[in-house]
Amino acid sequence: MEVASLLDTILASMKKSQTLLLLVLLDYVAATLYEDCGSVARIVRVDIEDCILPPCHVTRPDIQDVNITFSPIDVVQKFDATLDARIDGIHFPWPGPGGCKLLVDGECPLEANGTYLYHAVMPVLKEYPALSVYVTWIIRDNQGLNQVCISFPVIIS
């Protein structure tokens, strides 16, 4: 193989690698950044509608889609979700939207190392005050373990 042909092959290969890397990075960037607050499961991805870089801006009234993809390390028989809204250092427990029934691509029990998409729809009522809040979202299994624990700031306007 002559040198020019070899260089063309190497450059073509590099362009394909760069394109693949760019696609992977774009997919990663499209996910919402969050703080892991002690998840037992591996968090694969968190997507909060219209929010890539917190604080997430939410207007009233609205509905927010929250998608959490996770992979438990052990079998999970069932789970529930709870929310905690921290406003000026004061914690306000919030009932979660549900557990196993909100799985998009599976059902309970969850298999160890399986990957599951949890989808919740959260209403933002017009009665909510305009404020900044720090949200902690917990998916707790029947053994009391926090399979998922994520936190992120939200500004409601």
The per-residue pLDDT for 96 is 86
Extract the tokens encoding 41.
């499961």
45 and 68 part of one domain: yes
116 and 61 part of one domain: yes
The per-residue pLDDT for 152 is 97
Task: Report how far residue 64's alpha carbon sits from residue 32's, in angstroms, rounded to the nearest whole number.
Answer: 13
pTM above 0.75, yes or no: yes
The per-residue pLDDT for 1 is 53
86 and 147 part of one domain: yes
Q: Across residues 18-25, what is the average pLDDT?
A: 40
Please tell me what DSSP assigns to residue 109: S
113 and 131 part of one domain: yes
Q: Across residues 54-58, what is the average pLDDT?
A: 96
Task: Report how far residue 20's alpha carbon sits from residue 98's, in angstroms, rounded to the nearest whole number.
Answer: 37
Task: Report how far residue 23's alpha carbon sits from residue 11's, in angstroms, rounded to the nearest whole number.
Answer: 18
141 bridge partner residues: 79
Q: How many domains does the chain have?
A: 2
Cα–Cα nearest to 54, from 124, 134, 123? 134
The per-residue pLDDT for 4 is 52
* Domain span holding position 100: 34-156
The per-residue pLDDT for 20 is 41
Cα–Cα nearest to 57, from 133, 137, 151, 136? 133
Q: What is the pLDDT of residues 58-117, one digit of tens each?
A: 999 999 999 999 999 999 999 999 999 999 999 999 888 999 999 998 899 999 999 999
Average pLDDT, the chain: 87
Residue position matching structure tokens 């591996």: 42
